[in-house]
Amino acid sequence: MSNIVLLGLVSFFTDISTQMIYPILPLYLTAVMGAGPAIIGIIEGIAESLASIVKLFSGIASDRYGQKKRLAFFGYASSAVNKIIILFATTWTGVLFARIIDKFGKGIRTAPRDAMIAESAGKSGMGKAFGLHKGMDLLGTAIGILLAWFILSFGENEYRTIFMYSLIPAFIGLVILLFVKDKKLEKVPGKKVTFNWKNLDKRLKLFLIFTFIFTLGNSSNAFILLRAYGAGFSARDAILLYFVFNMTASLLAYPAGSLSDKVGRKNLLCAGYFLYGVVYLGIALVSNNVAFIALFVIYGFYTAMTVGVERALIVDIVPPENKAGALGLHAAIVGVGLLPASVIAGLLWTWLGPSAPFLFGSIMAFITCIGVFIILSGRKNNG
């Protein structure tokens, strides 16, 4: 359990650092560097997709060679480097490069970190372990957002001040990671660890396909923030909306993960995808400020009910020697899907108006809800 808490603290501090920057980046790009929604979509999509393939290979390497802690450390170190590059960037292409470095690092660390969490959790408490980690991760996100909001209260041009202060928690997270223990799994003599799509469980294959479908409508949260700006929220108030979303998700992630251990992953996941569809439909159709606040709270429910539970479901299905590879494949599919998702969202916004990308995302979510319900129906235990 101590490993899970330590890894949670690493993510907690890293996300404080990252989220001090993330919610203000769309405004920084538009107000200071003159980039429009389409450019933001391209930046977010390229950053995610170029790094996504790393998630798969990092997971496979973790299963085959071990060294999960070293891979995770290198990935988290990239997050600190990203902040330095953003601090000195003078054009949106510099920010693009920084985002690529950041996502490349995230690609390296995600699968080995999740594998270390799975190895430290009992099989009956897998959802609880991932829920605890995700709760701490999201709490860091919420605090980072609140710090950005506080600094902006001194003036809406304090971007570089935020970039500088964001380096502090990034390095604290790296120090904590040094105390994490990398458990070594016993290998069967003569058995080579391999990872092949053909050998994966059919349910996992179908789940990953629907994950990709869902991701096509799951564009960057930067568009939600831009939509809030367009609905009349100031930059600081829009950041508070993002805080409400993350704080809600943080408080609910651990209970949701624990609940999935008892009632099954399918029920939580399908309910979460349905709520996502409701949220995106609401963002597309309403402009009332009170309604926006309610939608961001519901968005937090969706996140708590899916992100950690998806990982627990994957670990349930795959054999232990392939869990890092499977987790990496899932993360890679999400990353690959985010390039067309963000580009589609940017183009739909530009061509059809700000409601269009959210209507599209809502449709993809409802399709995924139905698909996942069907493929996991009849599955025993944690299905």
**Residue 99: which CATH number?**
1.20.1250.20
Structural domain boundaries enclosing 217? 2-183+195-376
- The DSSP symbol for 91 reads S
Residues of the chain below pLDDT 70? 1, 23, 31-51, 123-124, 155-157, 184-195, 235, 378-383
Note whether residue 190 is domain-resident.
no
Q: Using CB atoms within 10 A of its CB, is residue 31 exposed (0-12), middle (13-18) or buried (19+)?
A: middle
Note whether residue 31 is domain-resident.
yes
| Selection from 304, 305, 324 nearest residue 314 by Cα | 324
**What percentage of the chain reaches a pLDDT higher than 70?**
87
- Report CA 5 to chain centroid distance, whole Å: 19
Note whether residue 156 is domain-resident.
yes
Note whether residue 175 is domain-resident.
yes
- Residue-wise pLDDT for 363-382, tens only, equals 999 999 999 999 988 554 44
Note whether residue 127 is domain-resident.
yes
pTM for the whole structure = 0.79
For residue 182, give the 3-state DSSP assignment: coil
CB 14 within 8 A of CB 178: no
What is the pLDDT, as a whole number, of residue 378?
57
The helix (run of H) or strand (run of E) holding residue 211 is: helix 202-216
Note whether residue 188 is domain-resident.
no
Dist CA 183 CA 64 (whole Å): 14
| Selection from 40, 63, 16, 79 nearest residue 196 by Cα | 63
Note whether residue 381 is domain-resident.
no
Q: What are the structure tokens assigned to 250, written together?
A: 């943080």
Instruction: Give residue 23's identity as a one-letter amino acid code.
Output: P
Count: domains in the chain: 1
CB 311 within 8 A of CB 114: yes
Note whether residue 210 is domain-resident.
yes
φ/ψ of residue 151, rounded to 5: -65, -35
